[in-house]
A and B are shown apart, each in its own frame.
Chain A
Amino acid sequence: MIRTIVKRLWLVPVVLVAWELATTAAANPFFPPPMLIASRMYEMWFSGPFLLTEEAVDNFGPSLVRVVGSWGAAVVLGVGLGVALGRTAWLADYIDPLVEFGRAVPPPAMLPVFLVLFQMGTQVQVATIVFGIIWPILLNSIDGARNVDHLQTDTATVFGLPRHLRLFRIILPAASPKIFAGLRLSVSLALILMVISELKGSTDGIGYLLSVASSNADMPAIWAGVVVLGVLGYAFNSLFLLAERRVLTWHRGARGTA
């Protein structure tokens, strides 16, 4: 156990030490040593009475609420709409080009629409994230719901399964591997759009802190922001993979024995 951990992680401290030594030796203002970044992070955000400082609470909080809330809204909307559209077979050819076009718009390009509409504030972030990430979810939900095994749906019809059971017991489980593929893309995209929309149209949030640090040319603070966002990205990704494994294990098991 300890042996495998050592084997996997020994390079991390080596890289950190090398980074510290190299940046100290180079003394390039754009690349501060990691110790300096860490002490700035502590001083700015983690030296409060209950670990977090006021600045951290006032900015990390809104960012987290926005990104998690918008992601949740996009998932509900995207999966709901996608399954409904996917199960309506005759609609397929009519809506496909529209969905394809929507997905092809580079997500950050939506931001100015909401800057014109709302100028500033949480609405800008929520709208940008939801409209940016809904496409992969929608597309994959449509695809997943469309390709449910006919044998399964026919069996459900023969047994007179009620509609809601049919949805929750057959269609959603069968479509879930596809849906999760879309969700995986949407997680990292949500964080990207949170950062952009906060850099541009916000007065709080991690992206806002980053833009303040950037306009003060405060390099250690910029690096600190990157580290926090990296940790956040890592955490979201890990949580998502955990949830995916939970939800999809039975599926792999069922497929494996079938």
Chain B
Amino acid sequence: MTATTTLARGERLHLSRARLGKLVRHVIGVAAFLLLWELAGRTGLLTWLPTASASLARAVGLAFDPAFLGDLLSTLTAAAIGLPLAVLVAVPLGLLLGTVPVVEEMTRAIVEFLRPIPSVALIPLALFAFQPEINAKVALIVYASAWPILINTLYGVRDVDPVATETLRSFGFGRGSVIMRVSLPSAAPFIFTGIRLAASITLILAISVEYFVGGAGGIGAFLIQASTGIGADAMVDVIATLMWAGAVGLAVNTVLLRAERRLFRWRFS
């Protein structure tokens, strides 16, 4: 008994040391990249690119810039409204298409044509059809981010073990309760993966729409505004904003990935 616990403790120690080593190598990698970037600027190798130190300093400065924070909030708000709406639209549709093959076969041609339309091509259309601009932004986010959720729900429901659904049905459960008790829970990991993919699409669409409506705010508007500045200053602003955009994207993805691992641990183990 004691032997096994010491072994477990030893293993845990070993594990945390391995993890620490990994973390150190991550930090070294990032530091080396920043150093190379800085040197490339200082030695005049890349004259158009602001140095790493100037860009980082500007990025830190942006954290205290109310105009930037307002724009960041505006982009995130649109994404945060759009994503749940996309889930509300796409999951029931996916369940319908996944459980009623007739409907799926009927609509397949239409789905297959609508899906490859590049969503940003709809921006001019949406800006005319939905007023004010925030509605157009949210509508486009919902449309574009619903696709991966819909497709993943469809595949997830199809992948459900037929023995489980047949068993419930033979016990007299109706179609609706079989869906709620078996299909939806076992498709949940697929659906969640779809939502994670959709989250990055919400940012793509939000920023793209913001490029075209100057007054509407958002990181996209901030970026376009910054890019109209003069020379080196414009580039510093753009690169610093880009760092924030990457950080936000990374944070969203990491949070969702962690949640996915935790919620569906039984699937990953």
Contact = CB atoms under 8 A, between A and B. Distances in A.
A194 B121 CA distance: 10
A116 B107 contact: no
Interface string B101-118: 000011111101110111
A12 B110 contact: yes
A236 B114 CA distance: 14
Contact of A222 (B25, B125, B219, B249): B125
A108 B144 CA distance: 15
A158 interface: no
A195 B242 contact: no
Interface in A76-135: 93-98, 100-102, 104-113, 115-117
Contacts of A194: 118
Contacts of A226: 117, 121-122, 125
A233 B200 contact: no
B134 interface: no
A112 B119 contact: no
A11 B238 contact: no
A241 to B, nearest CB: 11
Contacts of A233: 116-118
B235 interface: yes
B82 to A, nearest CB: 14
B30 A109 contact: no
A210 B246 contact: no
29 contacts: A8-B109, A12-B109, A12-B110, A30-B125, A93-B21, A93-B25, A93-B26, A94-B28, A98-B30, A104-B200, A104-B250, A105-B249, A106-B203, A106-B207, A108-B204, A108-B208, A111-B223, A112-B226, A116-B238, A192-B120, A195-B118, A199-B120, A199-B124, A213-B124, A223-B125, A225-B124, A226-B121, A233-B118, A236-B116
Among A31, A108, A213, the most chain B Cβ lie within 10 Å of the Cβ of: A108
A87 B189 CA distance: 31
Contacts of A217: 128
Interface in B119-141: 119-125, 127-129
Contacts of B114: 230
Interface residues of B, number: 57
B29 A104 contact: no
Most buried by A among B119, B211, B247: B211
B173 interface: no
Contacts of A112: 223-224, 226-227, 238, 241
Contacts of B220: 108-109
B165 interface: no
Contact of B204 (A106, A230, A237): A106
A196 B250 contact: no
Contacts of A113: 227, 235, 238-239, 242
B253 interface: yes
A7 B200 CA distance: 36
Contacts of A191: 118
A105 B118 contact: no
Contacts of B108: 8
A236 B250 CA distance: 29
B22 interface: yes
Given A96-B29, A104-B253, A109-B219, A210 B204 contact: no
B32 interface: yes
A101 B125 contact: no
Contacts of B129: 30-31
A226 B227 CA distance: 28
A107 B204 contact: yes
Interface in B63-111: 105-110
